[in-house]
Structure 1
Amino acid sequence: MVAGIPAAGKTRFACWLGSAWQLPCLSKDGVKELLFDQLGFESRRQKVALGAAAQAVLLDFAARQLEAQNSFILENNFEDSSIQPLTQLLDRYGCRAVTVRFGGDIEVLYHRFIARDKSPQRHRGHVVNAVYPEVGPPPPYVPMGLAAFTAGVQTRGFDRFAVRGPVIPVDCTDFAQVDYKEIARKIKEVLGQLLAQIESACRRRK
């Protein structure tokens, strides 16, 4: 699981790790963008429904990979409401997950979040929050305030997400200090520890 606060660099890392380790990787935002391109939305209710559909696709992908006994990567702004369905899924297949949780200075991440939303390259499925559908020139951009951003992070639990298994925290306040290879090394180390625990439990049962 690659999780954490919005605009912390999760998607970029997940894509890098999937390529480096040749693992299937699915991002909820990627699914959401595909659904928006095909279906769009004309109301807040429809936008929420599209996000729920993307979450369902993410969980179905995970279930199919677990059933096939494959390793894989999920990336999303996982929140408190994500914990129960993911935990149930892992328990169903007797699995544990390693969570890489991206965070950092909340004010720095807030300004990064606003800059990303204002970028013309930002996919419209993420930033259309005032006009459904868009007609004519886009409305003036009204950014979310720092207090609202911080409250959303704390209320929804982006900064505390964890499911069955260990958590590797990553401070993304300064992207220049984020070492992907070192994070990958830590993941391998944690996976090795999990495997040793499983093997020890199996020997005790015998």
Structure 2
Amino acid sequence: MTGAVLVLLAGLPGTGKTHLCSRIRACFPNCTQVSIDVVKEALWERYGFDDAAQKRELDDMALRLFFSDLDTALGHAHDSAAMVVSDYPFSDKQEPTLRALCERHRATVMTIRLTADLEVLFERQQRRDLDPSRHLGHIVDHYHRGDTLKDRTAATGLLTREEFYRRCTTRGYDAFRLGDLLEVDATDLDAVDHEAILKWIAARSE
């Protein structure tokens, strides 16, 4: 590997991107993770939001900060021949800036696009949103540091099945790609061959 490598874990929500990211970081020690959700959650904690409009403003700020963080990470990776990994349901919204950053840093980019049966994903998303360990800001339209919600089923931002399906079929999550593409069916998470994925990355990082 002679320059920066960027691995984008893309695809539908709830397909195990976060877990795969941890496997990649464990396999490739010289790897930096840059996450949009981490930036979002930090902004929610710092500023809070009172309604959906304020939340969108913070989320837009998070995207700009994410690109800035990714720019920095790719610059460091280019100098040290290291790897950068990022996981998100990427779409056409992020593609032009991601492409420009890769061209600027002459990065080798690859996309692992995870897909799955939508009904399975909806149920998985519901479980994740109701998990107390998930940041509350993801499922509410009003949040400030320290806020809690005892009954998460009452959260205003929980997606209906119809809205979840609409997002998954209209936002281009299942079509995003930059560079080499590996598509993985994550309907059954236990059946995902993580070792084969890691070997695929290694072969393209040499």
TM-score scaled by structure 1? 0.82
Q: 1:198 is matched with which residue?
A: none
Cα distance change on mapping 1:104 and 1:45 into 2, 3 Å: same
Q: Relative CO higher for 1 or 2, CA cutoff 8 Å, sep ≥ 6? A: 2
2:187 corresponding residue in structure 1: 173
Q: In structure 2, what is the equivalent of residue 201 of structure 1?
A: none
- Cα distance in 2 for residues equivalent to 1:175 and 1:152: 21
**For 1:38 and 1:46, how far apart are their aligned partners in 2?**
13
Instruction: Give, in angstroms, the shift of residue 135 of structure 1.
Output: 9.2
- Read off the aligned partner of 1:85 and give its amino acid letter: T
Q: 1:12 aligns with which of 19, 23, 38?
A: 19
Change (3 A) 1:120 1:89: same
SS in structure 1 at match of 2:205: helix
Which protein is richer in helix relative to its size?
1
1:13-36 alpha-carbon deviations (Å, 9 max, x no partner)? 112211321111122112211221
- Distance, in Å, in 2 between the alignment partners of 1:39 and 1:19 is 33
Q: Tell me the CA shift for residue 137 of structure 1.
A: 6.8
Question: Which has the larger displacement, 134-143 or 119-128?
Answer: 134-143
Unaligned runs of 5+ in 1: 193-206
Mapping of 1:1-206 within 5 angstroms? 1-22=8-29, 23-68=31-76, 69=78, 70-129=82-141, 131=142, 140-141=154-155, 143-163=158-178, 165-192=179-206
Shift of 1:141: 4.3
**Matched-pair contact (CA < 8 Å) for 2:36–2:63:** yes
- RMSD, matched Cα: 2.2
Q: Is this contact kept in 2: 1:3–1:100, CA < 8 A? A: yes
CA contact (8 A) 2:11 2:89 kept: yes
Letter in 2 for 1:20: C
Number of aligned positions between the proteins: 190
Match of 2:4 in 1: none
Q: Which has the higher strand share?
A: 2
Which deviates more from structure 2 when the two are superposed, residues 111-120 or residues 136-145? 136-145
Contact 1:15 1:25 in 2 (8 A): no
Give aligned-pair identity as a percent. Answer: 29
| Structure 1 residue 147, shift from structure 2 partner | 2.8
SS of the residue aligned with 2:10?
Answer: strand
Q: Unpaired segments of 5 or more residues in structure 2?
A: 1-7
Report the 3-state secondary structure (helix = DSSP H, G, I; strand = E; otherwise coil) of the residue aligned with 1:46.
helix
